[in-house]
Structures are given as structure tokens and as C-alpha cells.
Structure 1
Amino acid sequence: MKRGVLAAAAFAALAPTLLTTAPVHAATPAFELVAVQAAAAQGWPTVNRGDKGADVTAIQYLLSQHGYATDADGIFGPGSETNVKKFQSAKGLASDGDVGPKTWAKLIVQVKEGSSGNAVKAAQFQLTANGYGVDVDGKFGPDTEKETKAFQRKAGLDADGIIGPNTWQALVNNAGDGNNGGGGGGGTRADLAKHLRDDPDAVLLNSHVSGRDHAASTARANIVDTAAGRPAKTSPWSDVGVEDVTLNINMLRGMVKLDTEKGYSYRVTAIAGGDHSSTSRHYRGRAFDIDTINGRRVGSGADHRGFMAACRQFGATEVFGPGDAGHSTHIHCAW
């Protein structure tokens, strides 16, 4: 089932008429209620310093809409982090600089035909990132409404042309990905996880390499949960304890493409679970480790250089393997 269908079903009864005009500070409690409930029902990605891409750009536009002028360059640097913290403090949230479910719920703004401003630019940028090309001009006109409706239909939402909490969430989660299909690289987060769950060339370890026991945070459990629309879990002995995390959709796409486009079979030993460095991207659902490629162990004849290069090609920004400290027998790829 598509993510948008889950969100729409959960909140069909919570769809009052919501204020859509700027300035954003005039947003009604009704809008924030639906947004907060939407955030609780289905995971949003956690975006923070060092991240890049469409979600970062949308966050930057939304911060500007709220009065925290931020360059929309798609790079979550110190300036963006500072403004996120200021926004969080003003909204009574923990000022950690991470844009997670609670911050997303306060940050998003409902927009529809006739709306204008940075929130519209954020929505237009997300539509474009999902494959629905519109001009990012900050004016919600007929073309933006048309593409919004097309996206909503693809995501299984009510095609009303209004970008409210459920549509925002679907946009951020790529639920109506216009590039769906074609080599297994498109689709929703759940679709990609289902592909990995059922792919014999992507072996998902059902235990922990440390020998410790926590079935809910194994690599296979992380993927099975994501395929079912549930958050993945970290391990109780990790630096963060047991937490719910959303697996990064670009990482999942990369994992699929390693097989469908590069022809690799591989064994995944850890995703969100296990014990890693205190700031590891594993704990944010943005990294995976593998120890076997095409039936050969990493460090014992496996094509680790080719695999690492492929991870970089598919968007990994942190790749370690043989030759890097602590990675003589496994490869780490993080987004």
C-alpha cells in the first residue's frame, strides 16, 4: 500500500478547512493539529547538518517563509542549522537543529491555487524533485495545481490540488515519484524496501555480527518494517538505545540499483541496528554495511573497489572499506 494511502486513511476524518494564506505565523491550530497527527502516523525523514538535496531546499524555503531568511542552496550547513534551532525554540520544540517529525509538523504550510511566497517555492521544488515539473516561482497557479493533482493521484491521495499535511508528507517521502519503475530505482520507500526484502541478490542478515540478540533491529527486520510502513529500529546497546528511525529513501534506491543496474549480489550486515560511532549515520537510517559481494568476503577477494565506486555513483557521500581504519572486512556506505 502506498504511503499516501495510509496517511489519507488515517486522517480523512481530520480534514477541516485550513487557513492557506501567508504569513505563515497566522496558521490555525486546526492545521497544526492535522500536521502533528500526520507526523505521528507515518515517519518523516530526519534532516540535519551535512545533508543535501530537495528536502533540505524545501526546509530552507519554509524557514524563510516563517521569517528565518535562509539561502535555498540545498546544503544543510551551519546557517540552516542555526535557523532551524531558532525556529524550534520559537515553537517550543527541543532546539537540536534536526528537522524530524515534530519540526516538520510545525514547519509545513498549506498552500493552494492563489497562494504565493516561499512556502509555495518549497512545494514547487518538491513537486519537481518527484518528477512533476513546475516553475519554482513562488506563485501557485493553474500549472502548479495541475501537477499537484497528478502527484496526489499517483500517491493515492484525494486529488484536490491543495498541498496540506498529507500531501506535504507524501512529497517529502517521494510517494508519488514520477520516476517510479524502470530498473527498480523509483517507487516509494515501502516499494523499495519490498524489492530488497524479496530480492535474492540482496541478502539481509537476520542476526547481529556482534552475536547480541535483538531481532527487531537486524538488517532484515529494518527492511521488513520499512516495507510494511513501519519505522526501523536501532539496537538497545547502541549509543542512542532503541529508537524509531526512517530509512533514507535515496539509500534504499542505491541499494536496489546495486543489484538491478550493477549486477551485484551482496550481504547486508547492518542498517540502523548494531553498535557504531556515536555520530554514525546508521542511527539516522542513512547507512548500511556489507561483508560479502558476489559470494566473496570483503577483504578476501571481493570487488570492494567497484562496489564502493557504485555506492558513490548512487549518491553515497561516506564510503569506507578495506584500506580504511576499522573496515578491513566490510564496506560502509552512507547517504
Structure 2
Amino acid sequence: MRLRALFASLALVLSSLLVVTATSAPAQADECYSWGRTLSEGASGSDVAELQVRVAGWAGYGVNMAIDGQFGPQTRAAVASFQSAYGLAADGVAGPATFSTIYALQDADCTPVHFSWAEVDGGCGQGGYSGGSVSAATVRTNLLRAMWRAEALRHRMGDQPLRVTSGFRSKACDQSVGGSGSGQHTYGTAIDLVPAGGGSPSFCTIASNARHAGFGGIFGPGYPGHDDHTHVDTRTSRAWSAPSCGI
């Protein structure tokens, strides 16, 4: 009888522990994306690519990190910088604390909390993501990557609010506003940024900090037609020009 009572007590304790463990699991990402394993250098897969999208803006000065699903030294450095920027232990290993921080930074539609699809959809009053240089699905993939780098840029500048004035443009829209009809905006890789209020940060501050946020293209004050905004894009090559800002 005593043994049965002891086993019953142990079963109750184990049951309680299981409940506590289940309820204290890391916060999940709701409708967006949840990571199911700790990621470190040497890992590969779609979950690594999802992580890369969110930390690419922390890879370093002039580094436009590839989203290739391979957790190499560059990804480790980006994760460590992200961790440091958000007050976490900067070990370059993405585990529960890192993922919880990312979950807090993203909305259910996977956009970062300070940017939205409404800001970046088709210009010229067209809306949507069709009529560009790539498919609508690819446009959305590219825009999401640009928004996450903009989130990193924003945090780097002390969380000063930014606003997107132009995101995706169809070929026809791009031509109608003086573009080539085949520029970065038609791929969804580009966004134009301005301060959201009070004139701060300046366009030059945005351009200067964008060099550290994973953008291959940066055009700002002093570049023709860019004195009233800073253009950033995720092209793989580097093209920076903001002469009035010393860039």
C-alpha cells in the first residue's frame, strides 16, 4: 500500500512538472513563424533562412548578408550583434532568448512591428505587388527582407521612428515618376525612408547608419532627386551615394 501511495505521489509530481514545463515554454510567434530548435554555426535549413531574414541588418558595416539557409561565420556575427543590441548574451547562438526577442519584434504577418505591408505596397495608387520585374511573390519576399533591415536601422538610431514613402512600384509606375521602369523598386528590394516626425533623424543620419544595416544601395542628399528622402535597397552589389553626407 505504501509503495502504491508513493508511486501515486511521484506520478502527481511528474504530472505537475510536465504542466509547468509546457506552460513555461518560450513564447511562440503566433501566425508568423516559430523556431523549433537552437541554431548555431554549422546548421542549415529553412529555419536558418528565416533567422537570417531577421538578423541580416546586424551583419556589420557594408555587409549584405546572403539569405541562403547556411549558418556560417557571417550569420553568427549577425546573431551576436543582434543579441548585443537587444541586451542579450552575445554568444552568436540563436536559442529561446533570441527567438523570444524576435517574436516580440514581429507582427502576425511576419513584418517587423514598426513597418507594415500597407507602407510598401504598389505606388502610384495601384496597390498590390504585380507588374514589376519579378513575380508578386518574389516582390513580397524582397520587401520583407528590406523591412527587417529597416527595423535594424531604426533600432541602431535609438528607435527613432521612420516612415516609408515609397516601396514597390510596377514598371509603369516607376517610369511615371521618372524611374527607368526596371529599377530596384520594381523588384521590391527598395524602400524610401523619411523621419516619421520632428525632422529627426536627418536624411544624412539615415544614410550613414544604413551602411551598417545590410543595404547594398544607399542614395541620399546630394544624389539627384534624393534631397527629400533616403533610398535604401538590398541589391547584392554596393552602390552608395549621398554626397552631401560625405557618403
TM-score normalised by structure 1 residue count = 0.36
Of the two, which has the highest radius of gyration?
2
TM-score normalised by structure 2 residue count = 0.46
